[in-house]
Structure 1
Amino acid sequence: MRPHGADAMDYALPRSTGTETHLSLHVEGMDCSSCISKIETALSRIPGVSDIHVNFASEMLTLTLDDTSATQPSDIVQIVNSLGFSVAADSPAAPTAEAALSPPPPTTTRWWHTKKGKLVLTLGALMAGAYVVALLFPAYKAWAFSIAVLTGVIPFVRQAWALAKSGTPFSIETLVSVAALGALVIGEAEEAAAVVFLFAVGELLESVAAGRARSGIKALASLIPKTAILLDPAGGQRAVLAATLQVNDRVLVRPGDRVAADGIIVEGASSLDESPITGESIPRAKAVNDPVFAGSVNLDGVLHIRVEKTSVDNTLSRIIHLVEEAQATKAPTARFIEQFSRYYTPTVMAIAALIMLVPPLAWGADWQTWLYRGLALLLIACPCALVLSTPAAIASGLAAGTRRGLLIKGGAALETMGKVGVIAFDKTGTLTEGAPAVTDVVAFDGGNENDLLARCAAIESGSSHPLALAILKRATEAGLTIPAASNASATAGQAVHAEIAGRQLSVASPIYAAQAAPLAAEQTHRIAALQAEGKTVSVLIDNQNRQALGLIALRDEPRQDARQGVAALNAMGVRALMLTGDNRLTAQAIAGKLGIAYEAELLPQDKLRLIDDMKRRQRVAMVGDGINDAPALASADVGIAMGGGTDVAMDTADAALMKSRVTDIAHMVALSRATLANIHQNVAFALGLKGVFLVTTILGITGLWIAVLADTGATALVTLNALRLLRFKGARPALLDQAQTDIAAQH
């Protein structure tokens, strides 16, 4: 564990510019975006401190310190630590993508080893023990629960006090501390213990979710190989660190290798899997003078590449930067209950004090009577039910979603999802299956389609290319007998060759086929028509007779429920939009089948730009499964990953569809709207019931026991109402049925 505390100032890297010092500190313990405002508010009150910036995604705090000020770097460290965070380690004052690509080995800390985890476990054990004591020794029940309360609330009281001194007096920590101690003073120790325990659990869950979100950047960095094979002018080869490659270096990329740098092919031809960058499932044929991206996979040919960009500036480094920036600029979502605490807690405390003091002092009223009424008012105003109103509904909503395979990483995402006006979908692997499938088998000159498919499968049997696997799968599903093939070879990125029953055959691209065998006008027209539908065409040719025998068309087809899912969103008043890096013809064909608007041929930065443009007008959700979707997922108000997608998408997104069903998006919107309605009901219960008894207590109509009933009753109502969400069954069946009916009518 790296040291923190006052000594951690050694890990800040100050850079002096004469009259100012620029500090960069690594801050641990930030669980949500509201932590940013707490740190910035506290430091803005310190003399000589300016240009404060906290990046939640990278956990970096940067600021400028006036050298003429009495404030020292150790003072900054002490203040941040006092707020409940930890200044952990050094980081460059201007972190670069190169640093992100060469991170130190991460120290994985299990949640039960963290301070928050230990607090939850301790409180859980103390509460279990308190219930045992209450059953066996009822006289000591209050003492047992009081120990649990004091053990759990002391850290929050300390943090609330530090926040109050630094300019945030009515934080959620203040609210919870007042709720717990107030309930303890009036004898509701059991309720106080429950409030502290639930809040501690919520803090722990936020911490775990924040760590998972940050791990997405590490997963991105791991896609670039650590080493590369450098070619010297004499033709020699030597392994070097990929981070040391310079512009105009020449590197060797063998079949199966990942490309180590953005560059240009200067020798060789091959097919490359660029799905990490573009999201397109079908590999692209590349030859001399074609560009390649760092992180893409070379499938079948040997390539010599001239480096065009260093590791700091390559495509994946830019994606990492986009993810960090998107996460850092995401608008902080203030906790709903904390909004109330800014006004509710101080107002109620002031009113209670006035009720206790003014009548006796101003009019000589009976002290005992008004102290009693003031205590009753404090009990009525005890914000236990208010504290529980939002987290109870959120917890139930998250649990209900998990049961349906909707993994939502936090309350902010759950709340926001029901307010989105547009949902943007990636195409490949999200709206489609993510792998090509055979759509057409066409035999020329009266040939047999099954024979054609079997021969193509035989030729492709030794290849791991996605198109080859799709042809083999189709032949197997059709129960065909695949003939033996021999003398297999390949022309990289253009054709695969083999000998079958003494005939030299090839499965080739249309361009290669046109060169190897003359194509009739009708055949050329058929190929063009299939390509216009966004399909990839492979032609079977007889090399000896220079004859085209037929063709096979493939395309990444839509998921079975994609059209119904899009139609359901439209019925809910949510617009659906497809964003894809694929070519326009393929995008148009898929969009037409699904009834969805689209934007095609987009790079990651293009998707991010479109998301940001839409966010200016309405809330936006993004659904994707690939690394190229990570910046857009991070920037959207809610990012949603398909369960079968990459780890980067899963870690970057706010939610995931574990069953990879498009219709689950509609269920998620419905769950969010139900949760929001539940929260509004809970707040109305908590405040409405207390408001009624507030008036009756001041008038002397109700007393302390009614106040206890009001507080515990409101808490019970809020809890029971929140539990109703556990019975959530998804979007209304009638809605999905109507969507299916609309689809049928259109056909």
Structure 2
Amino acid sequence: MHTKSLNQANVADRKYIEEDHHHGKSPIILYSLGLLLYLLVLFGSFNPLIENSLFILTMLLSGYHVLSEGIVDTVTESVKRKRFHPNVHLLMALAALGSSIIGAFDEGALLILIFAGAHFLEDYAEDKSKREITNLLKMNPTEARLVLSSGETKIVNVSSLKIGDELKVLPGDQIPTDGEIISGSSYINEASINGESIPKEKTVQDEVFGSTINGDGSFNMKVTKNSEDTVFAKIVELVNQSQTNLSKTATKINKIEPIYVTVVMIVVPVFILSVPFLLNWSWNESFYRGMIMLVSASPCALAASAVPATLSGISNLAKRGVLFKGGAYLSNLANIKSIAFDKTGTLTEGKPSVTDYYFINEDQADEWISIIVSMEKSANHPLANAILEKFQSQSDFLPDLSVENNIGKGLAAMVQNKHYQIGKPSLFENVPSEIQTQSDQFSNEGKTVVYFSEENKVVGIIAMMDLPNPNAKAVIRYLNKQGIHSTMITGDSELTGKAVANMLSIDEVAGNVLPENKSQIIAESQKKYGYTAMVGDGINDAPALVAADIGFAMGEGTDVAIDVADAVIMKNDLTKFQYAHRVSKKLNRIVWQNILFSMLIVVLLITLNFFGRVDIGIGVLAHEGSTILVILNGLRLLLPIKSSLQ
């Protein structure tokens, strides 16, 4: 994506979507004609010659793409690889030919009809997932309102925009590219980026993303990224990657298929030639049973066991703002034995909140709170915001307050000739015992404390903490039930980390950890527990995300998160991680159900055929019917999984 414009990529992606293993609408039209001919013969009355001719025509029409992929693709791949490389379509073509040779034209036609129908169903399953790419591409903005030096606007192509260009965005417009608001404000629907349907208020200096939809307001924005580097472009690239990166199970099945087909093509002739001598069967009976074996042993259902299910799972999650770079990562998520979380912003809200406060004289508490709020309004650090959020609604603002903000010394002000100060405990000497007791208690709970003094005597204390994310506790409880070891990695003190961990029932805490040491903790977890996932914000957690077996980035659609992680949650919501784990477990269950069921049908049909208990019609129905059931079973993953919090 970085070597071509997004528009060029879109053309390439559309071509990929439309042409990958498809032949346009022709096969469906021909298939429908063949099906009509089959039904005509089935419910009509014709002489045997016309009847068999119509069955042959049915095979040729409905099996057009089967014959094409069976013969043409086998020849092409064999030449390319310089060794025989058949596929399951070739087996079906041979089975239909064999049925015709023994005079079972109706069975050959039925075989092709069911196999081709199952093939179309599998294509539908793949298209259902690839439609996520198509839907993304449709949301790709193509035009922008460029603000000229004269102040007028001009409609230009998005691909022509440069970093620093000023754009005008009107009500209802699609935001053309990533940028920053420089004037105006509006509510913006960012569902295309983070899956969140509730519009978000944006104003000056706020970041906006291309492809999102502006509400009723209008604003001017400055372009901050080239079109190929936008969050939207990276999402398209990521979802596109997921289509080709299949699960290990799917990949193994694809690798085994040509070997399996080759073995069947050897075993069937050996069976036909040897059985008349071993079991005294007639040559006709031997050939007939050989054709049933050819149909029964074809790995159609096995080949369809993993891919439709995997793509359906990816599609399910993509709709909910969880993007995987490939089916392998989704499939393997179910196997994790240990998981490490970054604390700030992942397990916690990412900002401090006031949890406790204490004043030595309750009668003066309201007056002191008003002074504290007035002083903190002149500051812009996170602790000030936490204090204002807690106390602003219950205080009177003092407009004439003059505040000194000295770095390292906190805030100081004079009110009615009295000196007031707010700062960290080490700045104060005259600390009453009750304040010290409260301070020790709060500190032992992992909270950050600030003192408030009047005339150099500490009269109040405020405790703050980065509180756990509201959904984090339920998610950790779910992981504990799954037997998955949880570790919190934090740069804060171990005491603070343990306080949060105790609230969430996390198994282990690694405190005072530098970003470069996080990957070492992941390596230790892999050695001790096995398959390990890492969940972080994708920036200072990058080394750990790369080191983990699965790196899971959380963050409101940041491009860094998309770059470094194996999977991305486009909104800071841990329940989506839990949902992904449940989808992964269901995916693995469905794939193994499909594999066992498909092989059971093969073994059952071959065994019954050996004892002469099945004819070719029953073999066709059972074998191809099992393929359809396997595909439909995989398509169940398109449905949402209920009650994500358990």
Give the shorter-chain TM-score range.
0.5 to 0.7
Query: Is the 8 Å Cα contact of residues 439 and 553 (structure 1) preserved in structure 2?
Result: yes
Alignment partner of 2:534: what SS?
strand
Letter in 1 for 2:9: R
Structure 2 Cα separation of the partners of residues 702 and 421 of structure 1: 46
2:24 matches 1:113: no
Query: Is the 8 Å Cα contact of residues 179 and 383 (structure 1) preserved in structure 2?
Result: no
Deviation at 1:352, TM superposition (A): 1.6
Deviation at 1:691, TM superposition (A): 1.3
Q: Deviations over 1:507-538 (max 9, x none)?
A: 32333x32xx7434543453344333322223
Alignment partner of 2:351: what SS?
coil
Indicate the residue corresponding to 2:236 in structure 1: none
Match of 2:397 among 450, 457, 482: 482
Alignment partner of 2:535: what SS?
strand
Structure 2 Cα separation of the partners of residues 711 and 585 of structure 1: 62
Deviation at 1:190, TM superposition (A): 6.8
Q: Deviations over 1:52-83 (max 9, x none)?
A: xxxxxxxxxxxxxxxxxxxxxxxxxxxxxxxx
Alignment partner of 1:711: what SS?
helix
Deviation at 1:128, TM superposition (A): 5.5
2:335 matches 1:419: yes
Q: Deviations over 1:474-515 (max 9, x none)?
A: 234x4544332654553235424566677664432333x32x
Structure 1 Cα separation of the partners of residues 375 and 69 of structure 2: 69
Query: Is the 8 Å Cα contact of residues 405 and 658 (structure 1) preserved in structure 2?
Result: yes
Note closer, same or farther for the CA distance 1:600–1:376 as it changes in structure 2 (3 Å cut). same
Higher relative contact order (CA 8 A, sep 6+): 2
2:639 matches 1:639: no
Match of 1:552 among 462, 466, 473: 462
Query: Is the 8 Å Cα contact of residues 336 and 390 (structure 1) preserved in structure 2?
Result: no
Q: Deviations over 1:311-334 (max 9, x none)?
A: xxxxxxxxxxxxxxxxxxx99946
Indicate the residue corresponding to 1:721 in structure 2: 633
2:389 matches 1:473: yes
Note closer, same or farther for the CA distance 1:588–1:389 as it changes in structure 2 (3 Å cut). same
Pairwise mapping of residues 40-79 of structure 1 onto structure 2 (< 5 A)?
A: none
Indicate the residue corresponding to 1:561 in structure 2: 471
Structure 2 Cα separation of the partners of residues 135 and 401 of structure 1: 36
Alignment partner of 2:496: what SS?
helix
Structure 2 Cα separation of the partners of residues 506 and 162 of structure 1: 83
Query: Is the 8 Å Cα contact of residues 389 and 683 (structure 1) preserved in structure 2?
Result: yes
Structure 1 Cα separation of the partners of residues 7 and 498 of structure 2: 45
Note closer, same or farther for the CA distance 1:491–1:152 as it changes in structure 2 (3 Å cut). farther
Pairwise mapping of residues 350-429 of structure 1 onto structure 2 (< 5 A)?
A: 350-358=266-274, 368-401=284-317, 407-429=323-345
Indicate the residue corresponding to 1:526 in structure 2: 438
Structure 2 Cα separation of the partners of residues 606 and 439 of structure 1: 31
Give the % identical residues: 29
Note closer, same or farther for the CA distance 1:667–1:344 as it changes in structure 2 (3 Å cut). same
Letter in 1 for 2:444: A
Alignment partner of 2:462: what SS?
strand
| Structure 2 portions without partners, runs of 5+ | 39-53, 98-107, 137-244
2:508 matches 1:591: no
Letter in 2 for 1:466: P
Structure 1 Cα separation of the partners of residues 544 and 82 of structure 2: 39
Pairwise mapping of residues 12-31 of structure 1 onto structure 2 (< 5 A)?
A: none
Larger deviation: 146-155 or 602-611? 146-155
Letter in 2 for 1:119: E
Alignment partner of 1:601: what SS?
coil
Note closer, same or farther for the CA distance 1:207–1:724 as it changes in structure 2 (3 Å cut). closer
| Structure 1 portions without partners, runs of 5+ | 2-102, 213-329, 737-747
Structure 2 Cα separation of the partners of residues 179 and 195 of structure 1: 14
Note closer, same or farther for the CA distance 1:392–1:104 as it changes in structure 2 (3 Å cut). closer
Structure 2 Cα separation of the partners of residues 532 and 417 of structure 1: 36
Indicate the residue corresponding to 2:515 in structure 1: 604
Structure 2 Cα separation of the partners of residues 503 and 148 of structure 1: 90
Structure 1 Cα separation of the partners of residues 255 and 578 of structure 2: 29
2:614 matches 1:705: no
2:481 matches 1:571: yes
Pairwise mapping of residues 14-163 of structure 1 onto structure 2 (< 5 A)?
A: 109-110=8-9, 112-114=11-13, 116-120=16-20, 123=23, 125-126=25-26, 129=29, 146-148=63-65, 157=74, 160-161=77-78
Q: Deviations over 1:625-660 (max 9, x none)?
A: 241223322332233333547443344333345564
Indicate the residue corresponding to 1:165 in structure 2: 82
Letter in 2 for 1:712: E
Q: Deviations over 1:118-149 (max 9, x none)?
A: 41495464455556767888888766655555
Query: Is the 8 Å Cα contact of residues 644 and 658 (structure 1) preserved in structure 2?
Result: yes
Residue-pair matches, total: 503
2:408 matches 1:509: no
Note closer, same or farther for the CA distance 1:492–1:451 as it changes in structure 2 (3 Å cut). same
Q: CA RMSD in A?
A: 4.3
Query: Is the 8 Å Cα contact of residues 483 and 500 (structure 1) preserved in structure 2?
Result: no
Indicate the residue corresponding to 1:39 in structure 2: none
Deviation at 1:369, TM superposition (A): 4.3
Structure 2 Cα separation of the partners of residues 131 and 202 of structure 1: 19
Structure 1 Cα separation of the partners of residues 494 and 598 of structure 2: 54
Indicate the residue corresponding to 2:119 in structure 1: 195
TM-score (normalised: structure 1): 0.57
Structure 2 Cα separation of the partners of residues 106 and 718 of structure 1: 40
Structure 2 Cα separation of the partners of residues 456 and 670 of structure 1: 48
Indicate the residue corresponding to 1:16 in structure 2: none
Structure 1 Cα separation of the partners of residues 309 and 269 of structure 2: 32
Deviation at 1:413, TM superposition (A): 2.4
Letter in 1 for 2:342: D
Q: Deviations over 1:98-123 (max 9, x none)?
A: xxxxx878767535514533414954
Alignment partner of 2:540: what SS?
helix
Pairwise mapping of residues 280-359 of structure 1 onto structure 2 (< 5 A)?
A: 333=248, 335-338=251-254, 340-341=256-257, 344-358=260-274
Letter in 1 for 2:381: H
Structure 1 Cα separation of the partners of residues 74 and 415 of structure 2: 80
Indicate the residue corresponding to 1:13 in structure 2: none
TM-score (normalised: structure 2): 0.65
Alignment partner of 2:541: what SS?
helix
Note closer, same or farther for the CA distance 1:107–1:568 as it changes in structure 2 (3 Å cut). closer
2:605 matches 1:681: no
